A and B are shown apart, each in its own frame.
Chain A
Amino acid sequence: MKSTDNASEKKCMNTNTAECSNVSHYPSTDYIMPGHVACPGCGAVIAMKFALQALGPKTILVIPACCWAVVAGVHPQTSLKVPVLHTAFETSGAAASGVRAALDIKGDTETTVVAWAGDGGTFDIGFQSLSGACERNENFLYVCYDNEAYMNTGVQRSSATPYGARTTTTPGDAWKNRRKKNIIEALAAHRIPYAATANIAYPDDMIRKFKKAKNIQGTRFIHAYASCPTGWRVPSDQTVSIARLAVQTNFFPLYEVEDGIRYTINTHGDRPVSDYLKVQGRFKHLAEKDIQCIQGMVDDDWQLLQRKTI
């Protein structure tokens, strides 16, 4: 495993912390129990922690095949304090629709139904059922915790894997040479009431978005960036700093889209994307020209996003 550049790490740890410093208003109750079986430094667990802190106990989770299908506990134990329906890989949108319909017909309109899927279950195999649910404007919150590959099965490429990354199915010089699918844009095109990006390094923003999403009717989507030390080949104590760099380099700007048309940019950065790429083992093979190519993509995406906020 290649170690990260300590100098750049220190730099990233020392920036943008002001907005996270006031912890007193954080919800205090945790709905994850100790003893879950995630890898050390798992960003997806941090995402779940904040999500449930914001959503509270009247939440039912629908979890398809993904890392969280394991993290949530192996029979006969569960690591979560809310009910969980485990379901097949590609079914989150449909299974959550069914849970919602059942609660509604029983008169329970208060409970929040949350589909909680990885990037493979969202961008790839589950995209059809998600798209169908969005088109019907099903009344639930869909969260994609994005660790940018099939991590649970051993780091295979997904359509959420970014350009330039090595995975076990884009190995060696055959590293991924296609862009990451822009899932928020695909969902905004469905004109759902709320779609937003969120990042575990920005808990204030993340908790605010989950609380906001909870109180909106219709299909809500949160794209939660969840760094994965195992798959990205970074030390497990770098989870949050890497996630923060994704925002600081504009690799993953934080923004919201309401009704598919009203864009609000929350947080972005202006550091070079190389600061983000060079601290991760999955990108270490990239030549300078490749990094410049990625910088160009990031710049293009950023300009496009800015135009949409006008």
Chain B
Amino acid sequence: MKHVLEGSHAVSEAVRLARTQVISAYPITPQTHIVEALSEYCAEGIMDAKFICVESEHSAMAACIGAASAGVRTFTASSSHGLALMHELLHWAAGARLPIVMAEVNRALGPGWNIWMDQSDSLSQRDTGWIQLYCEDGQEVLDTTLQAYRLAEAVNLPVMVVLDAFFLSHTYEPVDVPDQDTVDSFLPALSPHIQLDLNHPNAIGQMAPPAFYMEMRHSIQQAMQSVPEHFHQVEETFAKIFDRQYGPVSAYKCDDADLIFVMAGTAASTCRQAVDDLRAAGKKVGVLKLKMFRPFPCLYVRKYLETAQKVMVLDRNCSFGIGGIFAQELRSALYLNKRRPAIYSYISGMGGRDITVDHFMEMFDRTQTADYPEDESIWIALNNA
């Protein structure tokens, strides 16, 4: 049944429907609406779950690690500085192979204090071993959160469901909220791969000397490499029940495109409008939206981009000293391909600044007229430019 929901509440509805058993969270704007709703569900008995009001995000993840190790389904939500504070435990959760799901609301890091949309927080956690899935609208948020549990539990890796601050977390849209029985048919109860067990006393997360450690890390990489296949299966099952499917990437008018925009998140909606306008003017342009960032969907990216002449990447982030992070990843993913379109990297929309159709037009104009990229990354819509 369709409800008009805030993006944040698309998350909390999914967490409720997933029958999550332990939730541990600490407030930070703009993820608070997610955990406020979940607190209410726990308090009112709508969910049969424990909500732990921890004293920091670091402890939020530590409590999730404890609960997941004891064999229950867990959830937390965070953003920005909260996610940065969790960093150590993001490594721990993945290293311990725990299927924890987190909603991550993309927000800038200070200073200066900035509570608005920016991808620097989640992308800074690139190497922690978390699967990262970026969403574009409220329905995708709800669906991805449900899928995240199945995916996490299939590969024993934690999943971060990422949504843009305010543009998505605080925007109301019609969202189809399925009933419990339907969700139960998609998402069975957790059957833990390993857990603390009095009958079989074991040690979880103990010291691993050089003779063992590398194999443990290798197994994480293998699990990550299996994610696209598992995600495909999860989506196939999901589509049979809910008739919706997203893919690790989603292409819009890419088949015959000479120039293709690439980005993640809500900017993709704006970009499609720009592409429609450009197509109307006779330009062969498309959009490839990235949903999956970790693992990086190399095969999908190569498939859709290799026939293009130029690729324009929008990054709402910057790895200082090199440039846009999505652009770097794309360059790396395409390097081994025989056909390598030139990557034009554009940075804009950081710290909550709007990205408009005009900005995409500017990227297109600069890319179309250039013989090769002017720089590693070009900043668009700087006030002093």
Contact = CB atoms under 8 A, between A and B. Distances in A.
Interface of A: 57-58, 60, 62, 69-70, 72-76, 78, 80-88, 90-91, 93-106, 111, 128-129, 131-132, 135-136
B59 A129 contact: yes
Given A88-B89, A91-B89, A101 B52 contact: yes
A132 B24 CA distance: 13
B67 A99 contact: yes
B203 A83 contact: yes
Contacts, number: 160
Contacts of A94: 24, 54, 58-60, 62-63, 66
Contacts of A129: 54-56, 58-59, 62
Contacts of A128: 55-56, 58-59
A87 B67 CA distance: 12
A-B complex: 9 closest residue pairs judged by Cβ atoms: A98-B66, A132-B55, A102-B70, A94-B59, A98-B63, A91-B62, A94-B62, A98-B67, A95-B66
Given A98-B70, A105-B50, A60 B198 contact: yes
Contacts of B204: 83-86
Contacts of B201: 78, 80-84
Contacts of B92: 87-88
Contacts of A96: 66
Given A58-B198, A88-B88, A106-B71, A135 B55 contact: yes
Contacts of A62: 66
Interface string B192-230: 000011100111111111001000000000000000000
Contact of A105 (B22, B197, B205, B207): B22
A259 to B, nearest CB: 21
A131 B67 CA distance: 19
A75 B71 CA distance: 21
Contacts of B50: 101-102, 104-105
A86 B70 contact: no
Contacts of A132: 54-56, 59
Contacts of B71: 102, 106
A99 B196 contact: yes
A86 B230 CA distance: 29
19 contacts: A75-B206, A80-B203, A84-B202, A84-B204, A85-B70, A85-B204, A86-B207, A87-B62, A90-B58, A93-B59, A94-B63, A98-B66, A98-B69, A99-B196, A102-B21, A102-B72, A105-B50, A128-B56, A128-B58
A109 to B, nearest CB: 12
Contacts of B209: 74-75
Q: Which of B68, B70, B71 has the most CB of A within 10 A?
A: B70
A145 to B, nearest CB: 18
Contacts of B66: 62, 85, 87, 94-102
B63 A95 contact: yes
Given A94-B58, A94-B62, A136 B52 contact: yes
A97 B69 contact: no
Given A103-B70, A129-B58, A131-B55, A98 B64 contact: yes
B215 to A, nearest CB: 10
Nearest to B216: A75
Given A98-B67, A99-B70, A128-B59, A86 B203 contact: yes
Select the residue from A78, A95, A104, A106 with max chain B CB neighbours within 10 A. Answer: A95
B53 interface: yes
Given A98-B52, A101-B52, A102-B22, A87 B65 contact: yes
Contacts of B22: 98, 101-102, 105
Contacts of B54: 94, 97, 129, 132
B49 interface: yes
Contacts of B206: 69, 72-75, 78, 84, 86
A259 B65 CA distance: 29
Contacts of A102: 21-22, 50, 66-72
Contact of B198 (A83, A104, A105): A83
